[in-house]
Copies of this chain bind each other. A is one copy, B any other.
Amino acid sequence: MPNTFGKIFAVTTWGESHGIAVGAVVDGCPPRLALAAAEIQSELDRRRPGQSDIVTPRKEADSVEILSGVFEGLTTGAPISLMVRNADQRPGAYDEMRDKFRPSHADYTYQVKYGIRDHRGGGRSSARETIGRVAAGVIAKKLLAGVGEGGVEIRAYLTQVHDILMPVEALAEFPTLAAVEATAVRCPHLETAAKMIERIKAVRAQGDSVGGVIECRIRGVPPGLGEPVFDRLEADLAKAMLSLPATKGFEIGSGFAGAGSRGSEHNDIFETRDGRVRTVTNRSGGTQGGISNGEEIVFRVAFKPTATILQLQATVDVQGVATELMGRGRHDPCVVPRAVPIVEAMAALVLADHWMRHHAQTRAFAM
């Protein structure tokens, strides 16, 4: 089931960019969780097009309907079906894409795999598919808010746009949601955010696009989550992130930089702090042996520049004949700011599922 993610808390997404609707079915949700469409809506609004002047002006209200699984405001344990109708369908705008493969898009690979493709706005490969993920992520976040003493808190934000990097020292503290949402670019360091916005606007003016990096920090995760050997927490996070459109890399803790270090520099020394086992440093990024160690989980995701650019590009058509394609339409010159809630949603899905799995194996039977 390639359109399903998770083993116990599982989400299945469906829908195409210019079809009737997109949606998700969340299976395995615990009963008696308060859930209202408005809560899901507010998170969908974070990823919605048209929310600021640096993203696509595509107009989509993205209004979510809860079709099942909630009774009198509470989940029932039954599958939760969520649907968002596609409003701003302009299929005619995509006629050229029917016959030509857009460079670095999924047009060619879908065509060759399936022998057919819904070319309108990328069809199933469109980032609109992530609406279902974000909606499901809201439920996972609500569940996680009740874990441990302070709940699990997930915060993603941009640390890089093109070659503009947030200074490392800017993030001693866990950033607040307000700090992230303060700017359209979702970088909590205001000075860097200003530069990023400027760069995105400049690039857009050139009909070009840029990539970037999202960092995600998660606090409040109890030690013990994640399962050896294949379902390590970082393995499932990596899969979750690389399943997002436009991602090219994932690293946890020290990441690729850690590969250049020595063990004597890199090891996280244990100490007892505030009455429990802690590490002095956190180069591990919150997991050891694939299992959370109670420290902050810290990972980063690399996004490539938006493939659609408003420039003339060479390509081939479905017969393989050389042709040219002029990008047009309403696209984000940088998708990364809108990907922030999606990264958070996927992290929440991974953690909620692992929490339930951990519980099943270690708590169901008293020993």
Contact = CB atoms under 8 A, between A and B. Distances in A.
Nearest to A306: B263
Most chain-B CB neighbours within 10 Å: which of A211, A285, A303? Answer: A211
A94 interface: no
Interface in A18-63: 19-23, 25, 27-33
A292 interface: yes
Most chain-B CB neighbours within 10 Å: which of A19, A236, A361? Answer: A361
A262 to B, nearest CB: 5
A103 B358 CA distance: 23
Of all A-B residue pairs in the complex, the 6 with the closest CB atoms, nearest first, are A106-B289, A249-B251, A2-B227, A209-B263, A239-B239, A359-B364
A115 to B, nearest CB: 6
18 contacts: A3-B229, A3-B230, A14-B79, A33-B365, A77-B362, A104-B268, A125-B290, A209-B264, A210-B262, A242-B250, A250-B251, A251-B251, A263-B307, A263-B308, A272-B321, A356-B365, A360-B360, A363-B363
A256 B258 contact: no
Nearest to A2: B227
A305 to B, nearest CB: 4
Contact of A109 (B209, B223, B250, B304): B223
Contacts of A320: 272, 276-277
Contacts of A361: 8, 28-31, 77, 356
Contact of A248 (B162, B213, B259, B315): B259
Interface stretch (A64-72, A166-174, A178-186): A64-72
A19 B82 CA distance: 13
B31 A277 contact: no
A231 B2 CA distance: 5
Contacts of A315: 269-270
Contacts of A234: 242, 247
A321 to B, nearest CB: 7
Contacts of A316: 270-272, 277
A4 to B, nearest CB: 7
A309 interface: yes
